[in-house]
Structure 1
Amino acid sequence: MSLQDITNDQLHALSFASAGEQARALAEGRVSAVALLEHLLARIDRFDGAINAVPVRDDERARAAAREADAALARGERRPLLGVPVTVKESFDVAGLVTSSGNPAFADNVAREDSLAVAALREAGAVIVGKSNVPLGLADLQSYNAVYGISNNPWDPARTPGGSSGGSAAALAAGYVALEIGTDIGGSIRIPAHFNGVYGHKPTAGLVALRGTGVPSGRHAERDLVVAGPLARTASDLELALGLLINRDPLLAKGWKANLPPARHARLSDFRVLVIDQWPGSERSVHERQVSERVVDRLRTQGVQVSRPADLPPGLLPDLVRSHRVYRSLLGSSLATPPALSEAAQQRFEALSPEDDSADAAWLRASTLRHSQWLQDHEARVALRHQWERFFAQFDVVVTPVAPLPAFRHNHDEPKDARTYPVAFEDGTREVRFLDLFAWAGLPVLPGLPATSFPIGLDDEGLPVSAQAVGAYLEDRTTIAFARLLEEAYGGFIAPPGYEDSVAAPATPATPAAPTAPAA
């Protein structure tokens, strides 16, 4: 075998390697940063016409950065991501590139400097390849907009990769890069990770600085409930990236530093786990049942102590329904410029009874929430965080589904709040409202808890299935470790058919007849 053949084999082997594995290959001289970058750029050229995960490319500056990384490696420098190609969610500022959040009004908004998160990746030696696609205003479970078009799922291009970090998760699943960063307020890291079969971590609230994200540029105040965090193909890369992303705010760094506690356990069998698969007051979907059965079987096989809500003493588990009402209230009121209610939603708002304390009512009232009511909701949020702290004195993680369904087919009907999606139940398939898909995703958001989405195989249709592990406040390392231990025992990420790399290149997946992105 010639040297060129060996180099090609090594490059193909790195297409779906972890960021940590790529960094080790670079440090050991088994591959150059330039060769790795060119290999992955070629994959994007080859596959991205079908999925449109990375519509913003920065090839020439990436090539310059790869050359600099090779020179640094030759000098003996070692950094966690030195020479490793990465992409970032479009809403993160990258100096010299547009940040639009998919909004045509900001299509010429060129960032002057890197966001704090992107600067952290560069400092670690990462090569920024480009930016991944998002929905308009980062406000959808699908990733399409009038600036960049529609992103498709590598597992089935007729389906969405999710949102709002949909391009991020699709880029990982397609083998473009090994690491991404996204944001999450309603599952925007974890749901795309689930839909594409990769890993995603929603950090504890406030842990990762958001400066330099979103539009308009130049904001100092961080939006309520939003967090930034990593997506990857392995749990170990989540741990690696989290360590790089924390403690970046220059003002806080003057006097404060987050020293996260280590993972509670090093063995899976030592974990105390509560599994929830049915949202209170709702019917359990087939997908939710499949998630819990698979997780419980694996955990009990490993000797893990698994409990169900019926096993708990009264009052230990916080009231999920009440919490969801507060979440919907603060979520809706967190928007600086809330979208106008659809005609049907406006009619429901006008017909609300003053005594209606449901989650739907909270959502409808959110855009006109008085500050006094916001303060009451905020107090409920902080009290809830303390309730969860008491709960986590007896349990280590809570495992739930990420969503009640796998990746769904593109649906760009307007208005968005009137969309429904087919969800399978034991007695048949029924349409479920858009607003009813966020219960599991919202569970850790209101109290600001860490949550790690991790893949657990495929369903009967060959689509990725994931669960999420929720942990105690600031115990991010515990949920990531839990996902890593399950990965070590049962495997994790699976490459989508047709995207696996080999010396003999597989055929490019067919481009589906996808709907056209509506004008903004």
Structure 2
Amino acid sequence: MFRNHLITIFMWLVYSFLRPIFAYIYSKKRKSVPAIRNPLLTFSAVELAKKVRQGELSSQTIVEAYIERIKEVNCFVNAVVDERFEAAINDAKACDAKLKSGKVTAAALEKSQPLFGVPFTVKEACSVAGLSYTGGSLARKGMKATEDGSAVELMKNAGAIPLCVTNTPEFCLGTTSTNNLFGTTKNPYDTSKTCGGSSGGEGALIGAGASVLGIGSDILGSIRIPSHFCGIFGHKPTPGIVSTRGHLPTAENNALRFMAVFGPMARHTEDLHLAMKVLSANCERPLRLDEPVDVKTLRVFYVDNIDSVLGTRSTTLDIRRTIKLATDYLAKNGAQVKQTSQEWVHDSFLFLLTSFLSKENPEELITDKSPDARKKLFLELLKALVGLSNNTLQFIFTVLLIEFHGFIPRAAEEYYNAKKDTMRGIINKALGNDGVFICPTYPHAASIAELTFLRNDCVIYTSNCNCLQLPSTHVPMGFNDEGLPIGFQVIAGSYQDRLCLGVAREMEKAFGGWIPPTS
């Protein structure tokens, strides 16, 4: 473990050295996306669906408004990989005609298709029939999905209309959405900063007001980190609630099946709630999503920082302040609030590294099966450093981690997996069905994309939930002094997703939630 700490310290020192240089380079390049002028774009998906059902708005009007907004902001954020705008307008016209014909009623639609006529967007790693399905890899350039993935299928069954697929890092391996096929996606609040990854295209579009609801996926924080950087809500469900069929890289029948999940991203908590009802339609376990969450009955545990060597992953004061605001509010309104020890998060880095211990990894990540594959990987790493590799630096570095099993001895695998199982049991028992755990989503706000790679170890704040198979919701809590979004995550016991969503909704009521970017 000592050598892992040395790697972390080295990358932190390089980051600290380069940060002021890049800050100077980008000091005059800061831009945000244009302000939202169409008030229709500020409604929630729940409100839009209701207006469509009641005939107050046509689906075509809504779809065209979002297409116009996407075209307006995409030149700033570079989020869209492929689109089906014309087909989406035709889908919207069909919805309007069906409603006008009287073949369906508002009451029937609310029950069977609660998102009838509402547009949504999708991370490119989640297959949408006929649209790009490359994983941001040059090796898959031009590939299209032949069928809808499970999450997209469920959304379409609920009446929602897909508009486009959005950018990710190569094969979802990274905290900044950059690849050699589609380029870099930028933050809607400051285009000199990253939107995060791997569901970064979704985060950027939704934060910019160019999508009302999106489908992302989360392996080590891929929904929550972009949500944090882009000022929106994002929910990582308990694994097993939503099938991962259609995910790239493959998340079925390998080590990812307990860590990778599809989940919703949105500007409003009521949309997360509705989307989770739609996405969990095939879940056999009762989730009680419609059962109200009463703050007075909650037990709230929290930490505002994960201890690390030389403070390499310490949270900024503004993020700690948001956690204090939230916990003070919950305590004032009757919740039992307690700061917990580092025991719950102490081994987060260890759990992150052991996630690469699998003997069975997705086929898409096995780039070379020859005897000298490791030597070639190091050569590719050197080539990537000077921009000569077909793969990104983030991808190669992660594949090296997989190839070397997280730099943890294979003989220790059983011990570390047992330790994870023990901690999962401890936390689930402590949280029960009335407890939540609040902690940072990331130690700081969005930074410059070129530097974010050097802070990949900061995903320990989110990856802990994936390793321990817990649900988690990111909650936006306004801005830091630089005008960048910040927030925290709410975690609950396995299959207690309703508690995460309930606390997020309470925070939205108290502190405002998503705040639109302005020009």
Amino acid at match of 2:295: L
Q: Deviations over 1:433-472 (max 9, x none)?
A: x233112112211110000001111111111111100001
Q: Post-superposition shift, 1:25?
A: 1.2
Does residue 321 (structure 1) correspond to residue 346 (structure 2)? The answer is: yes
TM-score, structure 1 normalization: 0.78
| Distance in 2 separating the partners of 1:362 and 1:171 | 31
Partner of 1:291: 322
- Long gaps (5+) in structure 2: 1-35, 368-373, 383-399
More helix by share: 2
Does residue 305 (structure 1) correspond to residue 330 (structure 2)? The answer is: no
**Partner of residue 293 from structure 2, selected from 266, 269, 276:** 266
- Retained in 2: the 8 A contact 1:98–1:108? yes
What does residue range 158-237 of structure 1 map to in structure 2 within 5 Å? 158-215=192-249, 223-224=256-257, 225-237=259-271
Q: Deviations over 1:252-285 (max 9, x none)?
A: xxxx712114588633233211120121345343
- Retained in 1: the 8 A contact 2:401–2:407? no
- Retained in 2: the 8 A contact 1:273–1:399? yes
| Distance in 2 separating the partners of 1:281 and 1:49 | 39
- Retained in 2: the 8 A contact 1:263–1:475? no
Instruction: Find the residue that maps to 1:279 and give its secondary structure.
Output: coil
Partner of 2:27: none
Q: Post-superposition shift, 1:48?
A: 1.0
Q: Deviations over 1:404-456 (max 9, x none)?
A: 0101112169xx5xx2xxxxxxxxxxxxxx23311211221111000000111
Q: Post-superposition shift, 1:383?
A: 2.7
Partner of 2:514: 493
| Distance in 2 separating the partners of 1:37 and 1:110 | 23
**Partner of residue 136 from structure 1, selected from 161, 166, 170:** 170
Instruction: Find the residue that maps to 1:50 and give its secondary structure.
Output: helix
Amino acid at match of 2:214: E
| Distance in 1 separating the partners of 2:337 and 2:402 | 34
Q: Post-superposition shift, 1:116?
A: 0.9
Residues 289, 364 of structure 1: alpha-carbon distance in 2 compared, 3 angstrom cutoff: farther
| Distance in 1 separating the partners of 2:123 and 2:215 | 6
Partner of 1:501: none
Does residue 401 (structure 1) correspond to residue 431 (structure 2)? The answer is: no
| Distance in 2 separating the partners of 1:235 and 1:149 | 31
Partner of 1:63: 89
State which drifts further: 289-298 or 371-380.
371-380
Instruction: Find the residue that maps to 2:284 and give its secondary structure.
Output: coil
- Retained in 1: the 8 A contact 2:476–2:488? yes
Q: Post-superposition shift, 1:387?
A: 1.1
| Distance in 1 separating the partners of 2:146 and 2:98 | 26
TM-score, structure 2 normalization: 0.79
Partner of 2:429: 390
- Retained in 1: the 8 A contact 2:60–2:92? yes
- Long gaps (5+) in structure 1: 1-9, 249-255, 311-316, 347-360, 420-433, 499-520
Q: CA RMSD in A?
A: 2.9
| Distance in 1 separating the partners of 2:462 and 2:45 | 26
Amino acid at match of 1:325: L
| Distance in 1 separating the partners of 2:402 and 2:413 | 13
- Retained in 2: the 8 A contact 1:264–1:396? no
What does residue range 398-477 of structure 1 map to in structure 2 within 5 Å? 398-411=437-450, 416=453, 419=454, 434-477=455-498
What does residue range 361-380 of structure 1 map to in structure 2 within 5 Å? 365-366=404-405, 373-380=412-419
**Partner of residue 305 from structure 2, selected from 278, 290, 313:** 278
Residues 387, 271 of structure 1: alpha-carbon distance in 2 compared, 3 angstrom cutoff: same
Instruction: Find the residue that maps to 1:307 and give its secondary structure.
Output: strand
Aligned residues: percent identity?
30
Instruction: Find the residue that maps to 1:478 and give its secondary structure.
Output: helix
Q: Post-superposition shift, 1:71?
A: 1.8
Partner of 1:355: none
- Retained in 1: the 8 A contact 2:198–2:226? yes
Partner of 2:72: 46
Residues 466, 263 of structure 1: alpha-carbon distance in 2 compared, 3 angstrom cutoff: farther
Residues 344, 399 of structure 1: alpha-carbon distance in 2 compared, 3 angstrom cutoff: farther
| Distance in 2 separating the partners of 1:183 and 1:368 | 26
State which drifts further: 263-272 or 207-216.
263-272
Instruction: Find the residue that maps to 1:125 and give its secondary structure.
Output: coil
Amino acid at match of 1:223: L
Q: How many residues align?
A: 443
Residues 131, 304 of structure 1: alpha-carbon distance in 2 compared, 3 angstrom cutoff: same
Partner of 1:26: 52
Q: Post-superposition shift, 1:202?
A: 0.6
Amino acid at match of 2:450: N
Q: Deviations over 1:376-418 (max 9, x none)?
A: 44433333221112211496101011000101112169xx5xx
- Retained in 2: the 8 A contact 1:338–1:367? no
| Distance in 1 separating the partners of 2:450 and 2:357 | 22
Amino acid at match of 2:148: D
Partner of 1:358: none
